[in-house]
Amino acid sequence: MKIKWYGHSTFLLTSEGGTRILIDPYYRFIRYRMPIVEPDIVAVTHNHFDHSKIQAATGDYLLVKEPKEYIRNDVRINGFKTFHDKVNGEKRGPNILYRFQMDGLTICHCGDLGHLLSEEQVKEIGKVDILIIPVGGTFTINALEATQVMHQLKSTITIPMHYRTKALSVVGLMFSKVDKFLQISGQRTTEVKILDISKENLSEYAGVVTMLYE
């Protein structure tokens, strides 16, 4: 499987069989830019403009936007209802955490998760190989809380997202940089442009993987 980051919370997962999953597309957001993508699946965690621009996708794709189960080709997806804040969505609304099962691995994309997980949620989600999680704070969980969720789900690899980068310009001042999460997590860090991952090499990337925005 290959994982590519387009900045912010947008990722493209490509299975060994060629199934392409686009998650939380923005298309254009401040100085972030992404190409038009032709995926098999588009997953949207919540309806905020910087996560739900499905116009960034073209072709005959399956739109995933509810907390339920979906199957297409070699991918099984389960959505779990969470919230964008710590007050059951009263401030920023609902959020969906997605679990993708493909190529013998389990990947979780947390969207704009705004709270720690309950014991019941942790049990429902189950084993996680790769956790993609917001770490920037303000609108989501912060670096410390992201580290706690990382420990809750016992992920082998954790990929941070939704943090301050140069592409966010002045808007980025509302987010923390990724450095704070790297420091608090205390895990080994690997930096990649594209993560080419499999069951066989999973342990080689154990820890935090930071991804370069292109």
Tell me how many domains the chain contains. Answer: 1
Identify the pLDDT of residue 91: 85
Low pLDDT (below 70) residues in the chain: 28-31, 49, 51, 167-173, 214
Model confidence pLDDT, tens digit, residues 113-133:
999 999 999 999 999 999 999
Name the pTM for this structure.
Answer: 0.94
Identify the pLDDT of residue 7: 86
Identify the pLDDT of residue 33: 79
Q: How many CB atoms lie within 10 A of CB 58?
A: 11
Widest pairwise Cα distance in the chain: 43
Q: Please say whether the beta carbons of 62 and 40 come within 8 A.
A: yes
Model confidence pLDDT, tens digit, residues 55-96:
889 999 999 999 999 999 999 999 999 988 888 888 888 999
CA distances from 76 to 41, 46, 71, 104, 140 (A): 11, 19, 5, 11, 26
Identify the pLDDT of residue 171: 62
Task: Say which CATH number the domain at 70 has.
Answer: 3.60.15.10
Identify the pLDDT of residue 69: 98
Q: Which domain holds residue 97?
A: 2-211
Helix, strand, or coil (residue 163):
coil
Identify the pLDDT of residue 54: 85
